[in-house]
Amino acid sequence: MEKILTINNLTKKFGHVTAVKDLSFSIEKGNVYGILGPNGSGKSTTLGIVLNVVNRTAGDFHWFDGNTTTHDALKKVGAIIERPNFYPYMTAVQNLSLVCKIKDVPREKIEEKLELVGLLERKNSTFRTYSLGMKQRLAIASALLNDPEILILDEPTNGLDPQGIHQIRQIIKKIAANGTTILLASHLLDEVEKVCSHVVILRKGRKLYSGRVDEMIASHGFFEVSAGDNEKLEAFLQQHKAFGKISQENGIITAFLSEPLDASELNRLLFEQGIALSHLSKRKESLEDMFLEVTKDQSN
């Protein structure tokens, strides 16, 4: 696999505070990565370092094959960090022309990218007249001007209203569908779960997990069941070899699978035992459950 970004033992200290500690991971072409972590876990600092705006304390990183300088590599990267930053007195087109000059790309793409994010009608309005959602969309258009090898998004939906969040997500999905590598930092887990194939989980500047999302949620899932006679049901489930942990709450029994089992198969088995279910659902743990599980062990 072609590597886009490699980070080795990266450390950043702000005075006595260690924001990033001994972090290593790599980004491969074509995948959609999520960097997960609570606020203050070092996500933005890590991105700041690889984007040339924060100085590292120790460790190193390199873009692509490591033969280009960071600022030249960044011309092939599209990135938005936290708030969208543009010249408030310039129009969308003027701002994007400036970005084209910096990235050394022709100006032809400006209209196309503005159309992609739905800002073509407002292209001649100054940046200061834009709403937050429009500013964020302009930032995405700007990041896409060079048709980047990788798109880096840091909390792209922060502070947006539900409609704005939806628009941004649609755009990200559209971009991901084109095969662009994406690195998405967020603390919104469902957001990451919806679009990412890989995750890196950070907490207090350390890496807790990195790998595929579906491998992280590697369990066989769990059943939520209830019946008229819950005790008989629970007794049956406990003696069945496919089930591990079983708990009961509010009349619903939650049974975790230790090996694969179909919902229809379970239904048939129970019916043969004379247990008729009033509720049956099979679910997978969400990324949120797993995230809380992973970060829980590390507290203190």
Partner 1 sequence: MLRLLQIEFIKLWNNKASRFLIVSYFVLLTFIALIAAIKFDIGPVKFHLAEQGIFNFPYIWHFNSFIAAWFKLFLAIVIVSMVANEYSNKTLKQNLIDGLSKKEFVLSKFITVVVFAGISVLFLFIVSLILGLVYSDYNEIGIIFSDLEYLFAFFIKLVGFFSFCLFLGMLVRRSAFALGFLIIWQVIEGIATGLLYWKTSNSFAETVTSFFPLNSMANLIKEPFTRLSAVKSVANQIGEELTKDYAVHWYEILIVCAWTFLFIYLSYALLKKRDL
Site residues (vs partner 1, CB under 8 A): 14, 48, 51-55, 69-75, 77, 79, 81, 83, 85-90, 94, 97-99, 101-104, 142
Amino acid at 42: G
Cβ–Cβ contacts within 10 Å for residue 265, how many? 11
Nearer to partner 1, 57 or 258 (CB): 57
Nearer to partner 1, 44 or 157 (CB): 44
Nearer to partner 1, 104 or 272 (CB): 104
Amino acid at 203: R
DSSP string, 230-249: HHHHHHHHHHSTTEEEEEEE
Residue with tokens 């005075």: 15
CB of 7 to partner 1, least distance (A): 17
Q: How far apart are CA 166 and CA 151, in angstroms?
A: 18
CB of 87 to partner 1, least distance (A): 6
CB of 267 to partner 1, least distance (A): 55
Q: How far apart are CA 110 and CA 113, in angstroms?
A: 5
CB of 98 to partner 1, least distance (A): 5
Nearer to partner 1, 90 or 257 (CB): 90
Strands 77-80 and 150-154: parallel
Cβ–Cβ contacts within 10 Å for residue 209, how many? 16
Nearer to partner 1, 111 or 231 (CB): 111
CB of 101 to partner 1, least distance (A): 5
What is the 3-state composition of the chain as percent helix, strand, coil, each rounded to the nearest 5? 35, 30, 35
CB of 99 to partner 1, least distance (A): 5
CB of 78 to partner 1, least distance (A): 9
Nearer to partner 1, 41 or 95 (CB): 95
Nearer to partner 1, 86 or 222 (CB): 86
CB of 223 to partner 1, least distance (A): 48
- Indicate the helix (H) or strand (E) that contains 87: none
Instruction: Give the neighbor-by-neighbor strand order of the sheet with 243-249.
Output: 243-249, 252-257, 222-227, 277-283
Which sign does the torsion angle of CA 172, 175, 179, 182 carry?
negative
What Cα–Cα distance (Å) separates residue 196 from each residue in 48, 176, 229?
21, 9, 42
Nearer to partner 1, 154 or 193 (CB): 154
